[in-house]
Structure 1
Amino acid sequence: MNIIIALLPAIGWGVMPWIVNKVPNSRPANQIFGVGMGATIVGIIVTLIQHPAMSLPVFFLSLFSGALWTIGQIGQFISFTRIGVSKTMPISTGLQLVGNTIIGALIFGEWKSSHDYLFGIIALVIIVIGVILTAYTEKDTDSGMKATGRDIVFLVLTTVGYLAYSTFPKMVSANAEAMFLPQTLGILLGSVLYLFFSGNKAAFKEKASYLDLFAGISFGIAAYAYIISAQVNGVTNAFIYGQLSVIISTVGGMTLLGERKQGKELLATLAGLCLIVVGAIL
Structure 2
Amino acid sequence: MGIILAVLTAVCWGSIVLVSQKLGGNSYSQTLGMTIGALVFSIVTYFIVHPHINSLVFIVGIVSGMFWVVGQRFQFASVDHLGVSKIVPLSTGMQLFGTSLFGVLVFHEWKTSTEIIVGIIAIVIIILGAVFTSVKDQANDESGSEQTSKGFLILILSTAGYVGYVVIVRWFNVGGWEAILPQALGMFIGGLLLTFSGKPFNKFAIRNILTGLLWSTGNIALLLSLPKIGVATSFSLSQTGIIISTLGGIFILKEKKSKKQVGFIIAGCLFIIIGGVMLGFTKS
User: When the two structures are superposed, what TM-score results if normalisation uses the length of structure 2?
Assistant: 0.89
Distance (Å, rounded) in 2 between the aligned partners of 1:4 and 1:122: 24
Contact 1:83 1:145 in 2 (8 A): no
* Root-mean-square deviation over aligned CA pairs: 2.3
**CA contact under 8 A between 2:3 and 2:229: conserved in structure 1?**
no
Distance 1:36 1:96, change over 3 A: same
1:80-99 to 2 correspondence within 5 Å? 80-99=79-98
Whole-angstrom CA distance in 2 between matches of 1:142 and 1:115: 42
Tell me what 1:131 maps to: 130
| 1-structure distance, mates of 2:127, 2:27 | 27
**Structure 1: distance between partners of 2:167 and 2:8:** 22
Question: What does the per-residue CA deviation read over 1:206-231, in whole Å, with 9 as the maximum and x for residues that have no partner?
Answer: 11111111111110112123345668
Q: Distance in 2 between matches of 1:2 and 1:61?
A: 22
Range 129-138 or range 148-157, more displaced: 148-157
Counterpart position of 1:258: 254
Query: Which residue does 2:211 correspond to in 1?
Result: 215
> For residue 240 of structure 2, what is the aligned residue in structure 1?
244
Residue identity (%): 33
Other-structure match for 1:18? 18
Q: Which moved more, 1:148-157 or 1:131-140?
A: 148-157
Task: Check the 8 A contact 1:16/1:219 in 2, yes or no.
Answer: yes
Runs of 4+ in 1 over 6 A off after TM superposition: 1-4
Q: Which residue of 1 aligns with 2:282?
A: none
Relative to structure 1, the CA distance from residue 176 to residue 193 in structure 2 (aligned partners, 3 Å threshold; closer, same or farther) is same
Aligned partners of 2:97 and 2:4: how far apart in 1? 27
Question: How far apart, CA to CA, are the structure 2 residues paired with 1:116 and 1:234?
Answer: 14
Contact 2:2-2:229 at 8 Å conserved across structures: no
| Whole-angstrom CA distance in 1 between matches of 2:172 and 2:55 | 12
| Structure 2 counterpart of 1:174 | 174
Q: What amino acid is aligned across from residue 248 of structure 2 in structure 1?
A: G
Mapping for residues 1-282 of structure 1, pairs under 5 Å: 7-24=7-24, 26-144=25-143, 148-196=148-196, 199-200=197-198, 202-204=199-201, 206-228=202-224, 234=229, 238-282=234-278
Structure 1 residue 107, shift from structure 2 partner: 1.6
The alpha carbon displacement at 1:153 in A equals 3.0
Structure 2: any 5+ residue segments left out of the alignment?
279-284
Q: How far, CA to CA, are the matches of 1:172 and 1:240 in structure 2?
A: 20
Aligned-partner residue type, residue 170 of structure 1? R
Task: Quickly say closer, same or farther: Cα 1:168–1:79, change in 2 above 3 A.
Answer: same
Whole-Å separation in 1 of the counterparts to 2:88 and 2:82: 10
2:14 touches 2:239 (CA, 8 Å); kept in 1?
Answer: no
Q: Report the Cα offset of residue 2 of structure 1.
A: 9.0
Aligned residue for 2:200, secondary structure, equals helix
Contact (CA 8 Å) 2:2, 2:224: kept in 1 or not?
Answer: no
Partner Cα separation in structure 2 for residue 104 and residue 4 of structure 1: 20
Structure 1: stretches of 5+ with no match in the other structure: none
Counterparts of 2:100 and 2:141 in 1: how far apart (Å)?
36
State the aligned residue count.
276
